[in-house]
Chain A
């Protein structure tokens, strides 16, 4: 780093700080790499510094775009550094179970009654439509999401693992006997290895779904967290007027913080629905290349399509050809008198493997069953 003097170092590090403030995750070793790269190229030209930073400080196409903006702003001394969006208002921070005050040993009959009443209350809440809940009820329901234990779906891979029964593992058996200088010994067995299948959640956050968005993102968060602990991958996107990759936000452990992060990431809350177009974008950018390939894809939407329903049908057909299984979750499906008559639903239904309800905690639990069996 001898080429770069102290003053220049400070300027360059100041730039990494500005970049961090603009939302590019610049770590210390990345910043260090940047200094080393500029030292290699020399500080004579701004273009060299620009290229050195691009190579060392960025990790994806999203970063590159921000990088360009910050670089111009910082080194040309112009205003207008992109700032992180202010935190969305109205996402409350809760903690703890709200209805667990009754933890004392319920000796008297009266206390027993209270506990029982609460339990059945919770049972009722499980079946209530989440869009119709009051703020207090929602608050209680959030804690109940922790009771969902979705199992990631499994697939058998081409590879084998040692097992105590199954197929004969000739190679391992021979290897073991070789280790004993050719003496025969115990026979090894193997079976096809089982790996969790990827789950892709596409959550419609358009206006008609706004009552469900909060609950569905909580569900997505739960899936992501439980899936991760089981070694599986759950990818979450929101669809509406545009497609937003939410997996990073959903990986934050604390559900409230994850939801706040999601709120900051998604730009089109309660906008219109152009499901066909966003689906096409998803398939072009992510799905066809592997994100949806062989995965269980779950679409959460009520099917109120503003765009061309035939486009939606075409894209659902594409999705169906790429994915292992396509599950459509409709919040209205479980309600009395519901008929799938919306044009969007009609166009999409022929290309779905499952069409399930999704308006209450109980239906979410059923959905997790459908996914784990897929």
Chain B
């Protein structure tokens, strides 16, 4: 798809375009995404794991034909991993080359030094990449894993959309990138960061929407199996004794797994064999097997 200017898109159009990429969203999510594009504010998504927070950023990039730059956060991440670094080995190589050339009347010391901090030795990390390539979609994934200091740094970048490199000068995005932050709420984010962003909590989809999602993401799965899988998953999510209720990603995995095995209708044997796609704890597997047994019998 041709890259399109985010500012030209109408609200209804956006949901349709996202739908065309296989990402089905309700009107609340479509509206808040539209607002984020229009108001040029970062979008902060929270919600249960597996509800499609990361997938939304991917879908926006695909729908608008923009490059997606992904920054995965982790504990201890700092500005050099997010912004830029100098390519040290290549700088040394360059220096050696200059030395060799020096014998034959190469550049002066100042020139040599200056040439070390040339743009070609700059390693652009995700945030800088996004600013350079903008319009682009910058996905800051699992921002709750990063430390407070990193959050403060992000806040600075997100409020100015520019980065200054002492040796080179300031890099400013021509159009601010579309920024999507995701958080699993392992810790409370700082209020200042939240205030910069538009906030949205993504819930698990309802029955119909989830069936739609499976249809668009795993079209090879038969109508009957699809409905059966989603019904079971939705029932399981309603139970309160699972350590990790299955998300949409697990629904898709399970449907595909059952399909690979050539299951037309779920029975206990097929379900047991594929349970690993659905639940990820031994205790949960026991409980689900038990529940399935009852569900399938009735």
Contact = CB atoms under 8 A, between A and B. Distances in A.
A41 B32 CA distance: 10
Given A29-B195, A174-B88, A290-B145, A40 B76 contact: no
B32 A40 contact: no
Interface string B171-197: 000000000000011111001001100
A290 B186 contact: yes
Interface in B43-94: 46, 49, 75-76, 88, 91-92
A182 B100 CA distance: 13
A6 interface: no
Nearest to B89: A174
Contacts of A58: 199
A36 B39 CA distance: 8
A211 interface: no
Contacts of B49: 289
Contact of A182 (B95, B199, B200): B95
B187 A181 contact: no
Nearest to A233: B187
Contacts of A86: none
Nearest to B77: A159
A181 B95 contact: yes
B19 interface: no
B35 A290 contact: no
Given A40-B39, A288-B243, A54 B200 contact: yes
B200 A290 contact: no
B251 to A, nearest CB: 19
B80 to A, nearest CB: 11
Nearest to B193: A59
Contacts of B199: 54-56, 58-60
A175 B88 contact: yes
Nearest to A28: B195
A40 B38 contact: yes
Secondary structure type dominating chain B contacts? helix
A158 interface: yes
Contacts of B207: none
Contacts of B198: 33, 37, 55-56
Most buried by B among A51, A58, A291, A318: A51
Contacts of A181: 95, 109, 112-113
B16 to A, nearest CB: 17
B194 A289 contact: no
Nearest to A42: B11
B110 to A, nearest CB: 11
A69 interface: no
A49 B41 CA distance: 17
Given A157-B76, A289-B186, A37 B27 contact: no
Contacts of A289: 49, 184-186
Chain B: interface residue count, which band? 35 or more
B195 A51 contact: no
A95 interface: no
A310 to B, nearest CB: 13
B144 interface: yes
A46 interface: no
A78 interface: no
A178 B46 contact: no
Chain A: interface residue count, which band? 35 or more
Interface in B234-255: 243-244
Nearest to A311: B241
Interface string A60-81: 1100100000000000000000
Nearest to A157: B76
Contacts of A233: 187
A33 B31 CA distance: 15
Contact of A158 (B76, B88, B243): B76
A47 B27 CA distance: 10
Interface in A250-283: 283
B88 A59 contact: no
Given A158-B76, A284-B243, A290-B145, A41 B88 contact: no
A54 B35 contact: no
A33 B24 CA distance: 27
A53 to B, nearest CB: 11
Contacts of B76: 157-159, 193
A374 B171 CA distance: 45
B61 to A, nearest CB: 20
B28 interface: yes
A27 interface: yes
Contact of B88 (A29, A48, A178): A178
Interface string A11-33: 00000000000000101011001
Nearest to B144: A290
B185 A178 contact: no
Nearest to A287: B186
Nearest to B112: A181
Interface of A: 25, 27, 29-30, 33, 36-37, 40-41, 47-48, 51-52, 54-56, 58-61, 64, 157-159, 171, 174-175, 178, 181-182, 193, 233, 247, 283-284, 286, 288-291, 293, 318
Given A181-B112, A193-B76, A283-B243, 20 more contacts: A30-B195, A33-B41, A33-B195, A40-B38, A48-B31, A55-B199, A60-B185, A60-B199, A61-B46, A61-B201, A175-B88, A178-B91, A181-B95, A181-B113, A182-B99, A233-B187, A284-B243, A290-B186, A291-B186, A293-B186
6 smallest CB-CB distances across A and B, nearest first, come from A290-B186, A55-B198, A55-B32, A51-B31, A59-B194, A289-B186
17 contacts: A25-B191, A29-B195, A41-B11, A48-B31, A51-B27, A54-B200, A55-B31, A55-B35, A60-B46, A60-B185, A174-B88, A178-B95, A181-B109, A284-B243, A286-B185, A289-B185, A290-B186
